Every structure is written in structure tokens, then in C-alpha cells.
Chains A and B, each alone.
Chain A
Amino acid sequence: MKEFDLDSLSREMPYKMPEHFMDEMTERVISQISRERKRHSEHRLYAWFAGAASVAAVAVLLLHPFGGSLNVPDYDSISQCASIDEVFQNMSSDELGLYSMMTNYYGD
């Protein structure tokens, strides 16, 4: 049997490429790349905003720990108040008489 000579064959393919295929493929690739780029830039923008918001939150916490401007009671000044016994000791006899009269009238 005679051996087949590969070099005698043309380098053609038995298939065809559809007409305008390369132009259509180029446009398809370009439009997909445009979408990728848009998505990427949006993602970068979100990442930037998220980063900026985090930095701002940390800065607020560092500058005003637990919200310094809120109306939180001043426990130090409360502890400095006189005790009830001290108040009674400093009352005059008229004040004490008035106090006992009111407690009798309204009850304890």
C-alpha cells in the first residue's frame, strides 16, 4: 500500500467560517469588555465610598467617644450631693416643724 504524503495536501480546512464572523465577533468582544470596564469602575466607586464611610465612622468615634454631645447625666456631680442625713442636720427648727407637719398631712 502506497504511504500517504502529508506534504502533498493543501493546508485548507474542510469547513467554512461564516461571512462577517470576525467583524461581528470583534464587536461582541468590545461590547463585553465595555460592560466589564463599567462594572469594574462602579465596583471601584462603591469600594471608595465604603472606605470613606469607614474612615469617617472611625474618626467620629475617636474624636467624640460615646457621643460627647449627648445629654448623659453627670454621675460625678451627683456623687458630690449631700446625703439626706446631712440635709436634716442643717435644717432649722422651723423647717423641721414645717416638714413634720407636711408629712403628717400628706403621709410618708
Chain B
Amino acid sequence: MSKRDPKDSMNSQATLSVSDDSIAQMLCDDSRVEQAVRLIMKKYGEQLYWHIRRMVVAHDDAQDVLQETMINVYKYRSTYSNEFPLSSWIYKIATNESLKLLKSKSVGMVSVDDLGDALKETVRDEAGPDADETLVLLQEAIALLPTKQKMVFNLRYYDEKSYEEIHQIVGDSVNTLKTNYHYAVEKIKNYITEHQL
């Protein structure tokens, strides 16, 4: 394994310490917009990738959705208001783009929720034979959840977002989000309990 240059580590630390307000200001400045996009990728790129991948499951789809998300961040940067944190705004775009992709795959079905079985199969394919079985079961259970419950569960359980932040991203009231999370947890527990050896 190659050793990392200490300068890289310092650069990464410096990137993470750049405030969202500064990045938002750079986004509105045409001469610094590319720098702002690089900072967003450095600061939130991985989180966004995993948020998207948990929704769409396949890496190739996550790649397309992440790229589209960042292009939309660039295109619609003038619509961002600092009423919400920059990260919530970007997560909202990523969530909408993920839903758009799922909708495009659910043509001919009654709703996006009908994709559950197909997504569950993709979980197995993407995980590979060496993956931890419990982790795979957890992803299968998530894949089978209705879309709203899936979004809320992922944002709360993996991204550790507060209900207020999830409200900024998804738009439902905090009470509705709490109910969705509760149902999601119950369904996941039941699925894993039933399928675990």
C-alpha cells in the first residue's frame, strides 16, 4: 500500500474546514465556481455517493446520479438560499435525482415502490460472494421498503441526520418522518429475523 503524502492530508483537512457559507459564496462567483464544485466533491462527494447508492443500489446508476446531481448544483446554484444549510440543499438534489432514476426504471409499474424485488436482486449482485450476510440482508430489507420510508431510514440511520435536516431534504413534517422511521425499523427487524440462519 502506498504511503500518503502528509501534504494531501493537510489539504483534505483544509478542505473540510472550509465553511458551507464560503462554498456557497464561491458557487455564485463565476470565476470560482469550479473551485466550489471541487470543494463540494471533496467535502460531501463520498457521503452523497453512498446516499445515492443506498437508494439506487447499482454502482453504475449511482455514478450517473451523482454526476447529474453535481451538474444540477452548478446549473441551479443561483436558486440556493442560505435559509437551509448547503449540505441539505445538495442532499435534496441528490434525493430528487435518485427518485428520477428509479421512476425511469419503473415505467409500466404502478409505482416506484414496485421496484423493490428488482432492487433486492441487485443488492445480491452488487454485494458479491464475500460480503457479510447480515449486511446484505439489511440492504435487501431496505430495498423492499416503500420509497419514503427508505429515504428517511437511510438519512437517519446511515447519514445520522436530525429530523429537522431530513425535513429540509424530504419535505414532510417531523412527526410524519418519525412515523416513517419507526415503520421502517420494524419492517427491517422482521425481515432480518425471518431470513437470518
Contacts and interface: CB of A to CB of B under 8 A. Distances in A.
What is the size category of the interface that chain B forms with chain A? 35 or more
A33 B138 contact: no
Given A15-B59, A32-B67, A9 B53 contact: no
Interface of B: 30, 33-34, 37-38, 41-42, 45-46, 49-50, 53-54, 59, 63, 66-67, 70-71, 74-75, 123, 126-128, 131-132, 134-136, 138-139, 157-158, 185, 188-189, 192-193, 196
Nearest to B138: A9
Contacts, number: 86
B185 A6 contact: yes
27 contacts: A1-B193, A2-B193, A4-B196, A6-B157, A9-B134, A9-B138, A11-B158, A13-B50, A13-B54, A14-B127, A14-B128, A14-B139, A15-B127, A15-B128, A15-B131, A22-B49, A25-B41, A26-B37, A28-B67, A29-B37, A29-B71, A30-B34, A32-B67, A32-B71, A33-B74, A36-B71, A36-B75
A36 B67 contact: no
Contacts of B192: 4
B70 A29 contact: yes
A22 B41 contact: yes
Interface of A: 1-4, 6, 9-15, 17-18, 21-22, 25-26, 28-30, 32-34, 36-37
Contacts of B45: 22, 25-26
A14 B71 contact: no
A18 B41 contact: no
A21 to B, nearest CB: 8
Contacts of B50: 13, 17
Closest 9 CB pairs of A and B: A14-B131, A14-B127, A14-B135, A29-B70, A26-B41, A4-B192, A4-B193, A14-B136, A4-B189
A7 to B, nearest CB: 9
A16 B75 CA distance: 30
B133 to A, nearest CB: 9
A36 B111 CA distance: 34
B56 to A, nearest CB: 12
A2 to B, nearest CB: 8
Given A4-B196, A26-B38, A13 B189 contact: no
Nearest to A10: B135
A103 B149 CA distance: 109
